[in-house]
């Protein structure tokens, strides 16, 4: 992790001490070139900053002092670096040896490539659907079917997703769990939209990169293990609220008032279901998310 780096790795942490230590070890052991690694900690209370400084003294730790959200913390980490490539990496993601080099090599070979993401897998080797079409009322049901099928480990869905993830090429968006972005393109569109606290900021960024003339690639030859939810497990129902708020924000920006109204109605139905189950506090939060701006 020393020397002149062409790749800056930005990791945002919140209550994910053990996961980020494994992530940093994977970076140290699996990269053939220098990396400028920056961890932005969103006010964890589990001792994350001190543990990282002790175990990985070459890693720079920025203590945000508050929970800025994912996109804002990523922007802060990016601003602290100067490498021409930015790799945004979740703390519970562990690149396989050679994965980062393969990701950068593929993106660098395409002059118009603004972003790229790898093939990600769960700990048991099951594929994750870490890319997809732009989020619309027509595209999302199909995406949910595949994601939920993988979560159930449905054999038919696993075969379908395995075929999809093995095919590299252009995608509308790739996941922020491991997202490589060309710095010049990132700066040109203003980085992540900090109005997204959590979720959908990756799909929004990729869409703006494409609107700016860039390409977004899925690189199947680069593999990353991604557990998923290391920080989110500590957040409980707040994650669902953050997801709904981000979803509404995305729809308002890209899909227009009619589609946004339909989305709000769907969230409202979820709130009513929570009321029926006696989860009044969660229902109130969900209802607030439905009408967020």
Task: Give tens-digit pLDDT for 123-165.
Answer: 999 999 999 999 999 999 999 999 999 999 999 999 999 999 9
* Predicted local confidence at residue 293, as pLDDT: 66
Task: Give tens-digit pLDDT for 5-41.
Answer: 899 999 999 999 999 999 999 999 988 889 999 999 9
Task: Give tens-digit pLDDT for 58-105.
Answer: 999 999 999 999 999 999 999 999 999 999 999 999 999 999 999 999
- Complete domains list, the chain, with CATH: 7-233 (3.90.550.10), 236-290 (no CATH)
CA dihedral 79, 71, 165, 33 (to 10 degrees): 20
Task: Give the percent of the chain with pLDDT over 70.
Answer: 93
- Region 220-235 average pLDDT: 73
Distance CA 49, CA 60 (A): 10
- Region 265-271 average pLDDT: 87
Band (238; pLDDT cuts 50, 70, 90): confident
* Predicted local confidence at residue 100, as pLDDT: 97
* Predicted local confidence at residue 235, as pLDDT: 46
């Amino acid at each position: 992790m020393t020397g002149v780096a062409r790749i800056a790795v930005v990791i945002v942490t919140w209550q994910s001490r053990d996961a980020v230590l494994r992530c940093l070890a994977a970076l140290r052991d699996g990269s053939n070139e220098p990396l400028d690694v920056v961890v932005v900690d969103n006010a964890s209370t589990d001792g994350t900053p001190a543990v990282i400084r002790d175990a990985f003294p070459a890693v720079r730790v920025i203590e945000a002092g508050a929970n800025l959200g994912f996109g804002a913390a990523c922007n802060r980490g990016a601003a602290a670096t100067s490498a021409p490539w930015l790799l945004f990496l979740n703390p519970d993601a562990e690149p396989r040896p050679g994965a980062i080099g393969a990701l950068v090599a593929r993106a660098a070979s395409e002059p118009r490539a603004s972003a790229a993401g790898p093939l990600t897998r769960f700990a048991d080797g099951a594929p994750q659907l870490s890319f997809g079409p732009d989020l619309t009322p027509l595209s999302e049901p199909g995406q949910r079917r595949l994601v939920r099928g993988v979560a159930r480990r449905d054999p038919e869905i696993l075969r379908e997703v395995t075929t999809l993830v093995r095919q590299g090429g252009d995608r509308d968006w790739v996941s922020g769990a491991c997202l490589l972005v060309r710095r010049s393109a990132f700066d040109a569109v203003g980085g992540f939209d900090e109005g997204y606290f959590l979720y959908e900021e990756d799909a929004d960024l990729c869409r703006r990169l494409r609107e700016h003339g860039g390409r977004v690639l899925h690189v199947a030859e680069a593999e990353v293990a991604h557990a998923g939810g290391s920080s989110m497990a500590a957040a409980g129902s707040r994650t669902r609220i953050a997801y709904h708020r981000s979803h509404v924000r995305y729809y308002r920006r890209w899909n227009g008032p009619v589609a946004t109204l339909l989305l709000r109605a769907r969230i409202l139905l979820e709130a009513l279901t929570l009321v029926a189950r006696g989860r009044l506090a969660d229902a109130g939060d969900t209802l607030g998310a439905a009408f967020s701006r």
